[in-house]
Structure 1
Amino acid sequence: MKSILKATIAGAGLVALAACGGNADDKAAQNVEAAAENQADALEDLADNTTNETLEDSLEAQADNVEDAGEAKADAIDDADDARLENKR
């Protein structure tokens, strides 16, 4: 189970890293959000496969937190891009 989570996190990091550079801030925000969703999905899959109810609840809460954090980071990327464009005018 841990190897699936580690692979998902590594993949999410690579996707986010690949999105950096250029004027692709919108694409970067989408990639960050998608990576967070993928990580959350992996946590939810782990939760579905556990027999321990407490662990299941914890993993589902982690998944929710990861997804919320990804959305917040994507919003911050979009906001920073919008602010930069406003300052150029």
Structure 2
Amino acid sequence: MKKISVLGAAIGLMALSACNSSPREQAADNIEANADSVADNLEDAADNASTTAAKDSLNNEADAVRNEGDLKAKDMRTNDPDTNLSNGL
């Protein structure tokens, strides 16, 4: 059920981001939403982990995914010339 609500929130976020936003901003918002969704799934898996080490590992991975998504979105928004994104925007 939580996955459905996360997916619904991501779709809602994408719909809201489409209002008066540039394609670059929409792409950055989508990057963040996708990263948050993956990180939420990892945190859910951590809640169900059988050992503390597995739980810590999954939570660390979730943090890394969120951080990577934030960095990619920031790069997309600032249009740095050194971007390696392949979406052509």
Question: TM-score normalized by structure 2?
Answer: 0.64
Match of 1:61 in 2: 60
Distance in 1 of aligned mates of 2:37 and 2:31: 10
Equivalence for 1:39: 38
Deviations along 1:15-72, whole A, 9 cap, x unmatched? 9xxxxxxx50100000000000000000000000111110000000000000000000
Where 1:74 maps in the other structure, the secondary structure is helix
Residue type of the partner of 1:49?
N
Q: What is the percent sequence identity of the aligned residues?
A: 39
- The CA distance in 1 between the partners of 2:49 and 2:68, in whole Å, is 24
Q: Secondary structure at the match of 2:79?
A: helix
Distance in 2, Cα, partners of 1:64 & 1:34 = 14
**TM-score with structure 1 length normalisation?**
0.64
Gaps of 5+ in 2: 4-13, 15-21, 81-89
Separation in 2, partners of 1:79, 1:50: 38
Amino acid at match of 1:32: I
1:1-89 alignment, distance < 5 Å: 24-80=23-79
State the Cα RMSD in Å. 2.1
More off after superposition, 56-65 vs 23-32 = 23-32
Instruction: Report runs of 4+ in structure 1 exceeding 3 Å deviation.
Output: none
**Greater helix fraction, Structure 1 or Structure 2:** 1
Who is 1:87 aligned against? none
